[in-house]
Amino acid sequence: MIAFGLGVVTLRSPISCAMCLVSSFICLAAVFVTLDAFFIAIVQVLVAAGAVMVLFLFIIMLLNLQAEECRRVKLGVMLGGTVVVLSFVVLLSQALESSPQFSKPIPVLMAPSQDVSMIGMTLFHSFNLPFQIVGVLLLVATVGVVLLSRRTLR
């Protein structure tokens, strides 16, 4: 998963990056399965890897993007970005090593095959209002996409 993520960041052609991201999402779904989150794994494959990345690939093919031509890289910008990312990773590893409660073994789960019904109950009992709002948000997003894709936007 990390290797595919590296591929997304470093590869030149946009189609290779998109395929690496699809593989990264599928590996992430496999990691979700090891965490006994079966519903989230399937939703990840269906929605994130299936719908979102297919949309990305359609747009890449529609715009007919070629591999990035190499312009002159600004060394200061590259160096600054790398420093920020490396410092974030170092800080994260320090935080994880200094707190011992993250090193406990995995606790036993009572009913691992009932996660769909449990997620459904939590979703519709405690999170019903955000669920309805997300439905409205999807409607608004669809209308916005149709509006933004018109030939003349005025």
Partner 1 sequence: MTTLSHYLMASGLLFSLGLAGVMLRRNILIIFMCLEMMLSAVNLSLVAFSRYGIVNGIQNYDAQVLVFFIITVAAAEVAVGLAIIVALFRSRQTTHSEDLNAMKF
Among 26, 36, 61, 113, binds partner 1 (CB under 8 A): 36
Q: Give, as one character, the DSSP assignment of residue 72.
A: P
Q: E strands, the chain, where?
A: none
Check binding of 54 to partner 1 (CB under 8 A): no
Q: What angle do CA 39, 142, 56 make, to 5 degrees?
A: 65
Check binding of 26 to partner 1 (CB under 8 A): no
Q: Give, as one character, the DSSP assignment of residue 70.
A: -
Smallest gap from Cβ 13 to partner 1, in A, equals: 10
Check binding of 6 to partner 1 (CB under 8 A): yes
> Could you give the CA distance from residue 154 to residue 100 in angstroms, rounded to a whole number?
58
Among 30, 51, 61, 132, binds partner 1 (CB under 8 A): 51
> Could you give the CA distance from residue 27 to residue 9 in angstroms, rounded to a whole number?
17
Binding mask 60-79 for partner 1 (x = CB under 8 A): x-xx-x--x--x-----xx-
Residues 78-117 that bind partner 1 (CB under 8 A): 78, 80-82, 84-85, 88-89, 92-93, 96-97, 102-110, 115
Q: Which two tokens stand for residue 49?
A: 């890897």
